[in-house]
Chains A and B, each alone.
Chain A
Amino acid sequence: MPDIKKLEQIASQVRRDIVRMVHGVQSGHPGGSLGCTEYLVALYFEIMEHRSQFNMDGQGEDLFFLSNGHISPVWYSVLARSGYFPAAELATFRKIDSRLQGHPATEEGLPGIRVASGSLGQGLSVALGAALGKKLNNDEKLVYSLHGDGELQEGQIWEAAMFAAHHKIDNIISVVDWNGQQIDGPTLEVMHLGDLRAKWEAFGWEVMDLPDGNNMEAVVDTLRYAQTLTGKGKPVMILMATVMGKGVDFMEGSHKWHGIAPSDEQLEKALTQLEETLGDY
């Protein structure tokens, strides 16, 4: 049985890391990062079988690809907190000479990252390529990927969706972070995504709903169930509803916090809400 309480404590620490990182450089994307914290913590601390010793080829272990690279703070924090690199390095986020680029990069060799992302819409194709590679290598482990909902406006996503079903790539579990927000406003106003469940099903995917992606127990249970759907000839998609800015009341649900940093005063407010449970970096 997963220790949900322990996972929630880690999530709280990750959220503190996120607001500190973005505040420290006065730049970055806190809203989506805070919204996806439960998912990434559940993946790295409970769901994925992965080594903390990083290998680019990732054979014999589960792999994760972040397609919506702008929520790099949550990924960097989770990677550091699960042992890929020292947490102290989080303080270098977006600063000169750092391995923690604004958007994830492999060029400087940050352990845990296998492809650059940031220009949206490309991550599903890459994740599928890695999943194909696992099949060719007779590697039974799985590939996970995360996508923003706004990102689904990119056409390449649907090229990849079609390919995955056609080639029966059934060793992937993809997740859409359905927070309903993008930079210019709610997706309903900027570019309505329509019936996402029907769309993914029509493209030939096994689709699951996760109505509260900020409930740790629900996230873990849904991912565990999704694992049972793999290996059956279909790619698996989880439509995960989250709240942008979750955990910091003045950020919650507002697209305004997609890409701005908290002030000193706002940081203090945020940190008092995100009760400290483990040591800061």
Chain B
Amino acid sequence: MKKFTYTEKKDTRSGFGVGLLEAGRSNPDVVGLCADLIGSLKMGDFKKEFPERFFQVGIAEANMMGLAAGLTIGGKIPFTGTFANFSTGRVYDQIRQSIAYSGKNVKICASHAGITLGEDGATHQILEDIGMMRMLPHMTVINPCDYNQTKAATLAIAEHTGPVYLRFGRPAVPIFTPSDQKFEIGKALLLNEGSDVSIFATGHLVWEAIEAGEKLAEAGIDVEIINIHTIKPLDEEAILDSVAKTRCVVTAEEHQMNGGLGDAIAQLLARKSPVPVEMVAVKDSFGESGKPAELMKKYGLSSVNIVEAVQNVLKRK
């Protein structure tokens, strides 16, 4: 197992804020819209530097999605900002008709995804957003793993033509990817080569997968870890190449088991290369109030759960 270290922890949403500012500096067509959550989304610096290209929409997410669709018609590249819950479920029909079906170049940027939003509880957490967005034709779905990768992903989607759902979170998580990385949409990243099992993780669960890999290595289990930062389009080649070698899979994500990364990979494998799969995800449940680490533990999303899933899948191999 390769050694991964980190020097600091930082929230992924701050990576978005810095990425948006940089994208705005290099491309005058980038515009920002926010539904009364400028501080939470870290859009303040963009607003300050480009006041004429930033629009406070108020607590009106449906209108924000329509405005964004309209802005693309004059060649603008709108980045919408609100919580993941209000970026998806609340405005699903607006995204479906005015953005995805209409093929509009809107970047839906969603913070506070998953249960690690924490104390606000289930009304503000969302565990279904990846599922909703990946079901939409034309939609690209990205879930980066740390601060640096979120920043790189934000810059990359500004260059990409077409609707994108970019998901990030509230708590500080380890920064372990390089600060000068290039982000390639749809290209999975092999973090550790191994032959016993493939762990496909997304978002900050990639770090949990690394920690699990270290524990498993001590027990003599050789894990392959792949960071699936783009859930749609899925890097089928990378997944199938890995599975051809390991012949069993564990998926890990901070999302409902239904509809998420595990579902996407299981569907691919059922069609092209059936092997045993275990999924680390929330199992048909809403979240609740609590500290992020407590919630990760209670809902079974920590490295220990990945270790268990690997042990289980190896028995089924």
Q: Within the complex, which residue of A65, A122, A156, A163 is in contact with B58, where a contact is CB–CB below 8 Å?
A: A163
Report yes or no: A126 in contact with B31, Cβ–Cβ below 8 A.
Answer: no
Contacting B70 at CB < 8 Å: which of A105, A118, A119, A129? A129
Of A105, A114, A163, chain B has the most CB atoms within 10 Å of the CB of: A163
Q: Are A59 and B60 closer than 8 Å at their CB atoms? A: no
Q: Taking the complex as formed, is B97 at the interface, i.e. its CB lies under 8 A from any CB of chain A? A: yes
A159 contacts the other chain (CB 8 A): yes
Within the complex, what minimum Cβ distance (angstroms) separates A126 from chain B?
4
**A124 contacts the other chain (Cβ, under 8 Å)?**
yes
Interface range on chain B (Cβ under 8 Å from partner):
20 to 34
Q: Quick one: which of A154-180 are within 8 Å of B by CB?
A: 155-156, 159-160, 162-163, 166-167
Q: What DSSP secondary structure best describes chain B's contact surface?
A: helix
Query: Shortest distance in angstroms between A133's beta carbon and chain B's nearest beta carbon?
Result: 3
Question: How far, in whole Å, are A137 and B28 apart by their CA atoms in the complex?
Answer: 11
**Binary contact track B242-275/A, C-beta < 8 Å → 1, others 0:** 0000000000000000000000000000000000
> Please, which residue of chain A has its CB at the minimum distance from the CB of B53?
A136
B104 within 8 A of A: yes
> Separation in Å of the B35 CB from the closest CB of chain A?
10
The contact of A116 among B31, B55, B60, B101, by CB within 8 Å, is B101
B41 nearest CB across to chain A (Å): 18
With contact pairs A107-B101, A107-B102 given, residues A139 and B66 touching in the complex (Cβ less than 8 Å): no
Q: Closest CB-CB distance, A45 to chain B, in whole Å?
A: 23
- Which residues from chain B contact A163 at a C-beta distance below 8 Å? 57-58, 60, 63, 67
Q: For A254, list chain B residues within 8 Å (CB).
A: none
Q: Do B67 and A132 have beta carbons less than 8 Å apart?
A: yes
Least Cβ distance of B90 to chain A in Å? 11
Q: Which of A56, A63, A107, A125 is the one whose CB lies under 8 Å from B66?
A: A125
The count of residues in chain A whose C-beta lies closer than 8 Å to any C-beta of chain B is 40
Closest Cβ of chain A: how far from B224's Cβ, in Å?
Answer: 39
Task: State how many angstroms separate the Cβ of A129 from the closest Cβ of chain B.
Answer: 2
Smallest CB gap from A105: residue in B: B101
B283 to chain A, nearest CB (A): 33
B94 adjacent to A156 (CB under 8 Å): yes
A156-B94, A163-B63 given as contacts; is B70 within 8 A of A125 (CB)? yes
A103 to chain B, nearest CB (A): 9
Q: How far is the CB of A242 from chain B (nearest CB, A)?
A: 25
* CA distance in complex: A121, B71 (Å): 17
Once the chains are docked, how many angstroms separate the CA of A107 from the CA of B100? Answer: 9
Assuming A115-B104, A116-B101, A125-B63, is B74 touching A59 (CB within 8 A)? yes
Nearest residue in B to A63 (C-beta to C-beta)? B73
Any A CB within 8 A of the CB of B98: yes
Nearest 5 CB-CB pairings of A with B: A129-B70, A125-B66, A133-B74, A159-B60, A159-B63
A interface residues, Cβ below 8 angstroms from B: 56-59, 63, 65, 105-107, 114-119, 121-134, 136-137, 139, 155-156, 159-160, 162-163, 166-167
* Contact sample, A vs B, 6 pairs, CB 8 Å cutoff: A125-B65, A129-B68, A129-B73, A132-B71, A133-B71, A162-B58
Q: A115-B69, A125-B67 are in contact. List 4 more A-B contacts (CB 8 A).
A: A114-B73, A119-B93, A125-B69, A130-B74
